Amino acid sequence: MATQCFCLLLFTCLLALATSLPFLYIVNSHIFNGTLDDVKNVPPESSQLDNGDKHVRQVRDIGPHPPAGRGWPKDCSEISAGSHSGVYIIQPKGLHHLVVYCEMNMTNGGWTVIQRNQKDTPVTWAESWSTYKYGFGNVRSEYWLGTEYIHQIAKQKVYQVRFIIQDSTDNTNFADYNLFSVEDESQGYRLRLGSYTGTAGDAMTADNPNTMHDNMKFSTKDRDQDTYSKNCAYSYEGGWWYSACYAVRLNFKGGMTWGSLCKGNCKSSLILIKPASYC
């Protein structure tokens, strides 16, 4: 009888311990081609379990958690100052966990990278609506974070955006917009931008309605939401906020375009967001 009681007590304790170990549901693990050792803010004792869903990876965290009361960062702006750039886990409000690349060295750090591309990228950017929605590529090289996740992050606060463009002569230029938001899927992931400053030129909010990107819905090869008689995303091989059709084409395999700075021969692009500094 005593042995049975002991076994029952031991089983109860083990069950309580197992259920107390939380799971991290990393919904975009398909863009992370690495191990948890490559993630800056995951304890080294963690192990990972894959449940077979290409969009979800379960991670049982058996190490210490983020400081009590703080939880996981909601975006890269909540990563501690002085941290290194790299892959981090964040948890935007109301979402499961995401892997993102945090740029911590540029202009006080805290930037969440939502797009990175190179002229010679192996990534095929002519993807479907659902692929753009959930993201693709490799978070450590060229990738699109996911239109849905960009929307979810940017709705948390008032955000700003920075576009960084390397032109054909290897000069690096930037375009800042002091407001950035993406509406939800029912609104076509419409883009909203604020005022421009920078060195690349204002190619996103130009006055020409045929090449405007601000206030445009997102289009892909299988969902045409542009203002052109044909499908810009299909014709120009990449999802984007097209009008009829573009002054900017960054989601493209090959030379990119940014206004008059580089027309089809930009070498690289980077899009970063963080909460606006005055909010």
pLDDT tens-digit series, residues 255-265: 999 999 999 99
pLDDT of 41 reads 93
**Average pLDDT value for residue range 161-190:** 98
How many Å apart are CA 101 and CA 113, to the nearest integer? Answer: 6
Q: Do 165 and 259 form a contact (C-beta atoms < 8 A)?
A: no
DSSP string, 141-161: SSEE--HHHHHHHHTSS-EEE
pLDDT of 44 reads 57
DSSP string, 170-198: S-EEEEEEEEEEE--GGGTT-EEE--EEE
For residue 62, pLDDT beyond 50: no
Q: How many CB atoms lie within 10 A of CB 188?
A: 17
161 band by pLDDT with thresholds 50, 70 and 90? very high
pLDDT of 71 reads 87
Q: Do 101 and 138 form a contact (C-beta atoms < 8 A)?
A: no
pLDDT of 64 reads 35
pLDDT of 23 reads 58
DSSP string, 49-74: E--S-TT-EEEE--SPPSPTTT-S-S
Cα end-to-end distance, the chain, whole Å: 65
List the domain boundaries for the chain: 22-200+263-275
How many Å apart are CA 133 and CA 135, to the nearest integer? Answer: 6
pLDDT digits (tens, 9 = 90+) for 222-250: 999 999 999 999 999 999 999 999 999 99
pLDDT of 51 reads 41
Tokens matching residue 149: 């996740």
55 band by pLDDT with thresholds 50, 70 and 90? very low
Handedness of CA 179, 99, 93, 132 (dihedral sign): positive
pLDDT of 70 reads 63
DSSP string, 42-53: S-TT-EEE--S-
pLDDT of 207 reads 82
pLDDT of 3 reads 47
For residue 125, pLDDT beyond 70: yes
Superfamily name with CATH number, domain 22-200+263-275: Gamma Fibrinogen, chain A, domain 1 (3.90.215.10)
- Rounded percentage of the chain residues whose pLDDT exceeds 90: 75
Q: Is 209 left (phi over 0), alpha (psi -120 to 50) or beta?
A: alpha
Output 168-172 pairs: Cβ under 8 A, ≥24 positions apart: 168/255, 168/262, 168/265, 168/266, 168/267, 170/267
**Average pLDDT value for residue range 60-68:** 40
For residue 8, pLDDT beyond 70: no
**CA 218 and chain centroid, separation:** 15
pLDDT digits (tens, 9 = 90+) for 14-53: 333 333 334 578 999 999 988 888 999 986 554 443 444 4
Higher-pLDDT residue of 63, 1:
1
pLDDT digits (tens, 9 = 90+) for 66-97: 544 468 999 999 999 999 999 999 999 999 99
